[in-house]
Amino acid sequence: MRLGVLDQSPVISGHTPARAVAETVALAEAADRLGYSRYWLAEHHAIAALADPCPEILLTRVAAATQRIRVGTGGVLLPYYSPLKVAEVFRMLEALFPDRIDLGIGRAPGGDQVTAQAVSRGHYTFAEDFPQQVRDLVGFLDAALPAGHPFARVKAMPAGDTAPEIWLLGSSDYSGGLAALLGLRFAFAHFITAQGGDAVMQTYKSEFTPSAREDAPHALLCVFAICAETGAEAERLAASIDLRRLHMALGVDAPVPTYAEAAARTYDEREAAYVRSQRARVVLGDPPTVRARLLALARQFAADELMIITITGDYPSRLRSYELIAGAFELGR
């Protein structure tokens, strides 16, 4: 089973966003050594806990710091951007790092609606044009716009013989259905939606239409996981993400809590129930437990690959979690 890493560049309380970006580069270097297959960077805007609004820039730094691992976006939020400009950026990345670039595409705003309007200069369309944007982006990347397209003569440079892999990202049936229709790869965000994703993945595979890019469906499942030497330690580490998710539900814009901050927080009955309900989106435990649970999810979702997102209350324990998972799966051997 191939394993990748999704990194949201978390800003942990007491640390700067610049430290979060530096930790992303360090974690990517470690993932390359450990045998992970992909390293994706996420796009978020005006969120205190997440440092990266421009993964296409940070991707360049990560790719330059690594040797083997594929690097990409998880993802570029396409409704904000011109498909031609995205194609140009990723054609340049492909020229710099041939056969190592993934272009993951999302349609969520990556922030609140006021921020979405600010990013788009008041023209955020709530992804109404997303299917056509994806078609245009593929056409520009592959120099394959149909003859009747108004921009058929426009070429995305730098041209080349290779092109990035394209993945549609989603946490509902929308992107899965579009990926099947257009013959593209699909990544499902279990860490966002724990229920119903297996049906989405199965429908994607059963309804997949072969395309010039892909002759068969290819599905990736992205799971939030925390691994430690013992189950008790993994449970302790999970307290920070429990509080972080409660902050999100309450509209609290703050960095990721430390363990001390999480331990000091008391929950009322309603908050405790919410925190418990969110545990369905987390796999945690010692290495054998995490491995077994991840493989069970891969079977349930008929996933061809897994991708792991890990956020804890300090950077060393996040790295250690990825090290333990790599060892459990014997990556790189």
Beta strands in the chain (DSSP E): 2-7, 38-41, 70-77, 101-106, 165-170, 185-189, 219-227, 282-285, 305-309
With bands split at pLDDT 50, 70 and 90, how would you rate the model's confidence at 185? very high
Band of residue 332 on the pLDDT scale cut at 50, 70, 90: confident
Q: 107 in helix, strand or coil?
A: coil
Tell me: pLDDT of 3 over 90.
Answer: yes
CB atoms within 10 A of CB 210: 10
SS3 23: helix
DSSP string for 202-257: HHHHHH----SS-SS--EEEEEEEEE-SSHHHHHHHHHHHHHHHHHHHHT---PBP
Q: What is the torsion angle, in degrees rounded to the nearest 10, for the CA atoms of residue 321, residue 322, residue 325 and residue 331? A: -160
pLDDT at 5 over 90: yes
How far is it, in rounded angstroms, from Cα 223 to Cα 297?
A: 9
**In this predicted structure, what is the pLDDT of residue 127?**
67
Residue 126 is predicted with a pLDDT of 62
The confidence band for 108, taking pLDDT boundaries of 50, 70 and 90, is: confident
Name, in order, each residue with C-beta under 8 angstroms of 128's C-beta and a sequence gap of 6 or more.
none
Please report, as a single letter, which amino acid is at residue 87: A
- Tens-digit pLDDT profile for residues 213-230: 999 999 999 999 999 999
> With contact defined as beta carbons under 8 Å apart, do 137 and 87 qualify?
yes
Q: Is the pLDDT of residue 123 over 80?
A: no
User: What is the arithmetic mean of pLDDT over 266-276?
Assistant: 96
Please choose, from the candidates 171, 77, 75, the residue with its C-alpha nearest in 3D space to the C-alpha of residue 119: 77
Write the pLDDT tens digit of every residue in 308-326: 999 999 999 999 999 999 9
Domain 2-230+286-328 has CATH 3.20.20.30: yes
Mean pLDDT for the chain?
95
pLDDT one-digit tens code per residue, 61-100: 999 999 999 999 999 999 999 999 999 999 999 999 999 9
Q: Kindly tell me if the per-residue pLDDT of 117 is higher than 90.
A: no
